[in-house]
Each structure stands twice: as C-alpha cells, then as structure tokens.
C-alpha cells in the first residue's frame, strides 16, 4: 500500500500554517454563533415565498435558531420591512436593444431581542450585472434567476453576520 509521506520539514510547515489560520481568527462559513437569545426567533413581515426569507431561515437554522410561528413564542423578533428585487438596463446597442442588465436585491431589517432594540432599521443592497443576448432568452432568464438566488443568499449571510455582532443598543451607547 502506498502512503503519502510528508517529510519532517513539510510537517512543520503544515502545522505552522494550521496554527496561523487558527490564530488569525479564521472560521468556516456558518461557524458563527448567534446570541443565545436568538434560540427562538420570529420573522415578522417576511414574505413567505421570498428567496431572501428562505435563505435567511436556512442560515438561522444552521446556527441553531428555531423559527417560531408567533411573536409570543419568540425571544427575538426579526422584522423584514423591505424585501424587493428587480432589474435595470445598464446599456443598449446602437439599435436601442438592451445589452446589459443589472439585477438588484434590497432588504431592510431590524431586530428586537426580549423587548430591547438590538438593531435599528438597516438596509442592505446587493447588485450584479449580466449581458443580455436576445438569441438566448431562456438561458439568460435562467442566469437572472440564479443571480437573484445568489444575491438573496449573500444578503441573508450579511444579516446573520450583523446579528452575530449585535448587542443591545442601550449597552452599545457610550457612557457619559
């Protein structure tokens, strides 16, 4: 049986690289920790069939939060006051045919934990552009749908990262 053999110097270099990664605070995606008060979370105002909501629910569940059906059952209320997506024409050909589009996704959210405001309304916007070819309509429609899902997933991760870093606003205010 052939085994991969690493020379002693290679082992030392590998251990040094692993130690450097651990020391710099590196952690795998999804390895963050939500505040313990987010164990039971209610999503208010989120559209049930929104790509963003689906991605956000999955991201919260991966970090140990349970999404409940009523604010009375929840310790935290995550309010989604805006969840919108669309596209804009970025450029046109000489014949005035769209050549490039920009897809955008915008969300606004706030967070209350046990009756205390932790995050005031924050708006996040993500955009991506893509070229359009009228001869490939179906392929470009699929590309646009994929871009929307990707934008929704990016925004959901950004919201979760902000929640992970959040503290009660009263505690975060500077003491006079």
Question: At residue 25, what are phi and psi to the nearest 5 degrees?
Answer: 90, 10
| DSSP-based three-state secondary structure for 169 | helix
Q: Tell me, what's the pLDDT at 170?
A: 61
Q: Tell me, what's the pLDDT at 176?
A: 46
User: What pTM value is reported for the model?
Assistant: 0.72
User: Is the pLDDT assigned to residue 30 strictly greater than 60?
Assistant: no
Q: Tell me, what's the pLDDT at 79?
A: 95
First to last CA, the chain: 70
| CA distance linking residue 138 with residue 132, whole number of Å | 11
CB-side neighbour CA atoms (13 Å) of 114: 8
**pLDDT tens-digit map of 72-115:** 999 999 999 999 999 888 888 888 877 788 899 999 999 999 88
User: Is the pLDDT assigned to residue 29 strictly greater than 70?
Assistant: no
Other Cβ atoms closer than 10 A to 38: 24
CA separation, residue 118 to residues 32, 43, 71, 111, 169 (Å): 18, 15, 16, 6, 5
User: Is the pLDDT assigned to residue 22 strictly greater than 70?
Assistant: no
Residue reference for tokens 């979760």: 160
All structural domains of the chain with their residue ranges:
32-172
Instruction: Tell the CATH superfamily of the 32-172 domain.
Output: Lipoprotein like domain (3.30.160.150)
**pLDDT tens-digit map of 132-143:** 777 766 677 788
| CA distance linking residue 90 with residue 84, whole number of Å | 19
Q: Which residues of 41-55 are buried (b: 16+ CB within 10 A; e: fewer)?
A: bbbeebeeebbbbbb
């Amino acid at each position: 049986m052939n085994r991969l053999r690493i020379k002693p110097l290679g082992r030392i270099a590998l251990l040094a690289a692993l130690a450097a990664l651990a020391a710099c605070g590196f952690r795998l995606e999804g390895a963050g920790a939500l505040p313990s008060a987010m164990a039971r979370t209610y999503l208010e105002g989120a559209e049930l069939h929104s790509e963003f909501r689906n991605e956000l629910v999955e991201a919260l569940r991966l970090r140990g939060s349970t999404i409940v059906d009523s604010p009375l059952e929840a310790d935290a209320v995550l309010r989604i006051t805006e969840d919108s997506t669309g596209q804009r024409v970025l450029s046109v050909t000489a014949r005035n045919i769209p050549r490039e589009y920009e897809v955008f996704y915008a969300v606004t959210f706030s967070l209350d934990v046990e009756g205390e405001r932790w995050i005031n309304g924050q708006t996040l916007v993500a955009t991506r552009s893509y070229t359009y070819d009228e001869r490939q309509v179906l392929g470009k429609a699929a590309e646009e749908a994929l871009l929307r899902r990707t934008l929704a997933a990016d925004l959901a991760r950004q919201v979760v990262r902000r929640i992970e870093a959040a503290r009660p606003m009263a505690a975060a205010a500077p003491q006079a």
